[in-house]
Homo-oligomer: A and B are copies of this chain.
Amino acid sequence: MELPKKANIVEVCPRDGFQSIKEWISTELKKEIIDRLIDTGFKKIEITSFVHPKAIPQMKDAKEIVSHCIEKHSNKDVILNALVPNLFGAKAAYESGIREITYVISTSESHNKANVKRSREESFNELKEIKKSFKDLKIKFAVATAFGCPFEKDVPVSEVEWMIQNGLEANVDEICLADTIGVANPLQIDRVFKELSKSFKDQSFSLHLHDTRGMGLANVVAALQNGVDTFESAAGGLGGCPFAPGAAGNIASEDLINMLTNMGIETGIELDPLLDTVELIKEKIKPVLTSHLAYVDRDKICVL
């Protein structure tokens, strides 16, 4: 089994995780969790999203979160990323001090409309506007529902290729394929990345996985075997798209890091302080965690 020696883990709990929690999480608690996650060693973290507060009230403190993070962490080797669904959000993010955004467009037209209230074409037009308006803003382009859609079900690889082609033409800085509703299976992951390596030689992709059906880590391994080395995950396995019925938590950062570490793949992230943070999330937010490690006795975790 040929695998990369190192992997980059992008922590998305403060964005994808918190957005799935209906009860208000205090800004102070959000800050504490983000601070701890950054101190754990993540080199990129999605700290919030600039969306309409009516759509996702949990994210209404986005500006304050960004101010705090810039003040506290801008001297560190960490990218502070915020998700934006449109030009309006990108402008707000940029003005708050954000210099890397996640810009999301769904591969399936129906999910894009449900998620960001636009056609894919409108979304791509705004992406070009963003690129033109904010020269020093890096863009991670998230290709949502790349492996399946809650409305259209099967998503052909040709549609994913069309999305990537459009993203490349818009000069995005990173392309992240997202299994928004956790339906991808390892064979599919293998086939899609093999296809893409033919259509887009030398183009790297990051991968955003949900563990809805328990295939999350299996999909990571299938992707690693295809040379993918950048994965998004959430502390505690929190997460879920509010506009995708049937979506559940992201793959849990602690489960992912435990597996990679045991496989000899370096992540640069310390498991122990991460597990402390997961305990804090468990205690204060009381979410349904899809994490496995969160339920293993602490002294039994690194048994090997």
Interface residues, chain A, with chain B CB atoms under 8 Å away? 1, 3, 148, 150, 153-154, 181, 183, 185-188, 190-191, 211-218, 220-222, 225, 245-246, 248, 252, 255, 258-259, 262-264, 288, 290-293, 295-297, 300-301, 303-304
Task: State the 4 A-B residue pairs at the shortest beta-carbon distance, nearest first.
Answer: A246-B300, A214-B292, A214-B255, A218-B218
Chain B residues closer than 8 Å to A221, beta-carbon distance: 186, 218, 221-222
A220→B222 contact, CB < 8 A: no
Chain B residues closer than 8 Å to A181, beta-carbon distance: 300, 303
Per the bound structure, the CA–CA distance linking A296 and B300 in Å amounts to 29
Of B211, B222, B245, B262, the residue contacting A300 (CB under 8 A) is: B245
Chain B residues closer than 8 Å to A248, beta-carbon distance: 292, 295-296
Q: What's the minimum C-beta distance from A260 to chain B, rounded to whole angstroms?
A: 9
Per the bound structure, the CA–CA distance linking A217 and B214 in Å amounts to 7
Instruction: Output the residue of A148, A222, A291, A296 with the most chain B CB within 10 A.
Output: A296
Per the bound structure, the CA–CA distance linking A246 and B245 in Å amounts to 34
Question: Given that A246-B303, A303-B246 are contacting pairs, would A292 and B185 also be in contact in the complex, using a CB cutoff of 8 Å?
Answer: no
Chain B residues closer than 8 Å to A262, beta-carbon distance: 183, 185, 187-188
Chain B residues closer than 8 Å to A258, beta-carbon distance: 213
Chain B residues closer than 8 Å to A190, beta-carbon distance: 1
Per the bound structure, the CA–CA distance linking A245 and B291 in Å amounts to 19
Chain B residue at minimum C-beta to C-beta distance from A261: B185
B183→A263 contact, CB < 8 A: no
